[in-house]
């Protein structure tokens, strides 16, 4: 997505440094000498992130943060300080700042923090795709597109664990929507009325991360003028999402393990144990098995977090979902940009389906926003997409890629499909594919529904529902066999009771 960042800092060296750290695809940077200049020029009206030196905040600084957060787009605010002051930091965070950082921290640390803030901003914008007219509702599991077998099977697993209240570990590549999923799980769990708090374990220095998670007592360190509650306490009776858990220092992993086992925390510099009632959802794009072997991640913590592991399929493994995702994002950006786009042609969809998607759904969102903004007419065509996507050699595109055949066969689609709206034509295509797919599997398994369901990555209940909808009967695949010669029996098809491992 195109994100607008405003930089207002108190010296040119820092201004150049921030501009360099913010120089990323899809990020537009504006620099101003003061907030007054930003207000007079109108650039504050459409900001996603304000990076500002503490010295440029008007007195009282917390009131300025509150004022910025009341702007129409509710921009995130990152405050840069020259010296640490725990009390002032707590006041700024309470007023609505997303982070307070020392301006002299290494580029790697500050860059990671900025990237996390921008990713969170993108996640918030994606969440608005579930917005209804008249207001924004919490994201729901039903908002996830799951036409593909891989995503359909994955979402079935998610539905099994959403209300179990055990800890969850979400795995997946960058950009697949791990936090998006965590928010959806929270919104449909028994804790939905509680807070959802997200913490990026890789975006904060080690010393700050411990205080951020567990809080600190007065006098715990220089500048700690009062006791401050950590995110675990703030998430009491809600959900805490620990993103990039693989980046957490080992000694903090020990404290996290104690929270999982005892449901208690101890603030930095404190002696008292404080009870916390939270559901912990952790996520990472790292290979935790390799991290354990390298001694960077505790095996006991992995087992406690990983009683249920949810691995989100990358977009390249769920290409059947791309047409519907494209339609959703097209509608969203058409409304939010005011561009008079009517639709997208089949050639552009074919190019998007065959793309390898190293950046997953986040990359698709960025491309769709770019296409809507740069479209040369009222219909998005291949010429409106990045050249690298249009000219890319097709990867291993599944037969089911939107039409039950290869993308190259799109011009030869049945005439009755071409006379229908895209959504209805896609449903007809998916029905045809599913009928062929399930017919072949049922033939190979001689009507054994249990075995067919396992091979398709579905529950038997879901497979029975799908077969009824498609007019398929297991008996028709059993005519060439009998129980005596090895044909399936009803005992082969249990209803697969849902079992959720304990945390």
Three-state secondary structure along 118-172?
Answer: HHHHHHHHHHHHHCECCECCCCCHHHCCCCCHHHHHHHHHHHHHCCCCCCEEEEC
The mean pLDDT value for 194-214 works out to 85
CATH number where 344 lies:
1.10.8.60
How many residues would you count in the chain? Answer: 503
Number of domains in the chain: 4
CA 298 remoteness from chain centre: 25
Q: Within this chain, do residues 7 and 27 fall inside the same structural domain, yes or no?
A: yes
Same domain? 300 vs 379: no
14 and 59, same structural domain?
Answer: yes
| pTM (global) more than 0.75 | no
Instruction: Give the domain CATH number at 1.
Output: 3.40.50.2300
Per the structure, the complete domain to which residue 76 belongs is given by 1-106
- What pLDDT does 403 receive? 37
Does some domain include residue 390? yes
Same domain for 53 and 8?
A: yes
Residue 175 lies in a domain: yes
What average pLDDT is seen over the chain? 81
Looking at the structure, do residues 465 and 405 belong to the same domain, yes or no? no
pLDDT per position as a tens digit, 426-447: 777 777 788 888 888 888 888 8
- Read off the pLDDT of residues 309-363 as tens digits, 9 standing for 90 and up: 999 999 999 999 999 999 989 888 888 888 888 899 989 999 999 999 999 999 9
pLDDT of residue 186: 93
Query: What pLDDT was estimated at residue 73?
Result: 76
Residues 332 and 466 in one domain: no
Mean pLDDT lowest among 83-97, 383-397, 451-465: 383-397
pLDDT score at 205 = 78
Looking at the structure, tell me whether residues 155 and 304 fall in a common domain.
yes
116: nearest Cα among 241, 7, 262: 241
- The residue out of 106, 128, 157 marking a domain boundary is 106
Mean pLDDT of 451-466: 79
pLDDT for residue 14 is more than 50: yes
> Do residues 305 and 343 share a domain?
no
Q: How far is CA 304 from CA 246, 317, 451, in A?
A: 14, 29, 31
Judge if 293 and 408 occupy the same domain.
no
Please tell me whether residues 252 and 356 are part of one structural domain.
no
């Amino acid at each position: 997505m195109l994100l607008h960042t405003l930089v207002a800092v108190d010296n040119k060296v820092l201004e150049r440094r921030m501009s360099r750290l913010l120089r990323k695809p899809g990020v537009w940077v504006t620099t101003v000498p003061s907030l007054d200049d930003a207000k007079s020029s109108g650039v504050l009206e459409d900001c996603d992130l304000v990076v500002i030196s503490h010295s440029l905040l008007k007195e009282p600084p917390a009131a300025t943060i509150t004022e910025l957060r009341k702007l129409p787009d509710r921009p995130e605010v990152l405050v840069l300080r020259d010296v640490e002051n725990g009390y002032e930091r707590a006041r700024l965070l309470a007023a609505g700042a997303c982070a307070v950082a020392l301006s002299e921290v290494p580029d790697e640390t500050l860059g990671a923090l900025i990237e996390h803030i921008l990713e969170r901003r993108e996640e918030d914008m994606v969440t608005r795709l579930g917005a209804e007219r008249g207001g924004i509702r919490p994201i729901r599991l039903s908002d996830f597109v799951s036409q593909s077998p891989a995503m359909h099977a994955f979402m079935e697993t998610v539905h099994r664990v959403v209300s179990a209240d055990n800890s969850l570990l979400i795995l997946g590549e960058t950009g697949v929507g791990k936090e998006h999923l965590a928010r959806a799980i929270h919104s449909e769990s028994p804790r939905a009325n509680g807070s959802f708090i997200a913490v990026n374990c890789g975006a904060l220095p080690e010393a700050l991360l411990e205080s951020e998670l567990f809080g600190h007592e007065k006098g715990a360190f220089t500048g700690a003028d009062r006791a401050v509650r950590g995110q675990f306490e703030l998430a009491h009776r809600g959900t805490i999402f620990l993103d990039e858990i693989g980046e957490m220092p080992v000694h903090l992993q020990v404290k996290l393990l104690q929270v999982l086992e005892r449901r208690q925390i101890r603030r930095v510099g404190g002696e008292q144990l404080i009870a916390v009632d939270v559901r912990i959802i952790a996520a990472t794009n790292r290979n935790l098995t390799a991290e354990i072997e390298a001694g960077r991640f505790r095996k006991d913590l992995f087992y406690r977090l990983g009683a249920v592991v949810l691995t989100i399929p990358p977009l390249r493994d769920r290409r059947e979902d791309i047409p519907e995702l494209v339609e959703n994002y097209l509608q969203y950006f058409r409304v939010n940009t005011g561009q008079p786009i009517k639709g997208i042609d089949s050639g552009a969809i074919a190019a998007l389906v065959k793309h390898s998607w190293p950046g997953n759904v986040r990359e698709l969102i960025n491309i769709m926003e770019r296409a809507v903004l740069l479209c040369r007419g009222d219909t998005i065509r291949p010429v409106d997409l990045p050249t690298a996507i249009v000219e890319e050699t097709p990867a291993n595109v599944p037969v089911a890629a939107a039409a039950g055949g290869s993308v190259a066969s799109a011009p030869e689609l049945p005439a009755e499909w071409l006379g229908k709206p895209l959504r209805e034509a896609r449903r007809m295509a998916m029905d045809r594919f599913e009928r062929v797919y399930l017919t072949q599997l049922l033939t190979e398994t001689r009507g054994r529904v249990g075995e067919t369901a396992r091979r398709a990555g579905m529950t038997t209940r879901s497979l029975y529902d799908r077969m009824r909808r498609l007019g398929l009967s297991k008996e028709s695949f059993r005519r060439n066999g009998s129980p005596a010669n090895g044909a399936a029996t009803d005992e082969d098809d249990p209803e697969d009771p849902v079992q959720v491992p304990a945390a």
